[in-house]
């Protein structure tokens, strides 16, 4: 079994999630192997086999260093995209506003209130 997993009720499982362990029926037969990417049709058949919960692999959280590196990469990309405009210039307010919205979007921040 993988180190990070969770048992989710069938109602919370969505297509695209990955099984963290083999899925067995009531008789111990393997229905789906470990690592299977679940589809909507697979999920629809689960109640037939008496499956109420599924072992789902939890998404790995990136480390703080990885998050910082990703943030720096995003900021460098934004700086390159807007390299011909001065972010502190009041004369080109439309580009500054666009840059702020793109930055907020790329960094996953809430949109700024106007």
Per-residue pLDDT of the chain (114 residues; tens, 9 = 90+): 445 788 889 999 999 999 999 998 888 889 999 999 999 999 999 999 888 899 998 877 778 898 899 999 999 999 999 998 887 777 888 888 899 899 998 888 876 555
Domain that includes residue 19, residue range: 5-57
Q: Are residues 38 and 12 part of one domain?
A: yes
Q: Are residues 11 and 44 part of one domain?
A: yes
CA distance 35 to 20: 6
In a domain, 114, yes or no: no
Q: Are residues 52 and 13 part of one domain?
A: yes
Residue-level pLDDT at 112: 54
Number of domains in the chain: 2
In a domain, 112, yes or no: no
Residue 55 neighbours by CB under 8 Å, 6+ apart: 1, 5, 6, 7, 19, 20, 21, 23
Q: Are residues 52 and 29 part of one domain?
A: yes
């Amino acid at each position: 079994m993988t180190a990070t997993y969770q048992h989710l009720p069938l109602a919370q499982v969505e297509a695209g999630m990955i099984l963290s362990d083999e899925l067995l029926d009531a008789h111990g037969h393997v229905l789906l192997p470990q690592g299977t990417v679940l589809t909507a049709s697979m999920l629809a058949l689960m109640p037939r086999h008496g499956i109420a919960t599924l072992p789902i692999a939890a998404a790995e959280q990136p480390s703080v260093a990885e998050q910082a590196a990703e943030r720096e990469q995003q900021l460098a990309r934004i700086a390159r995209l807007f390299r011909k405009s001065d972010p502190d210039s009041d004369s080109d307010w439309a580009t500054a506003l666009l840059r702020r919205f793109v930055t907020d979007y790329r960094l996953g921040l809430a949109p700024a209130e106007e």
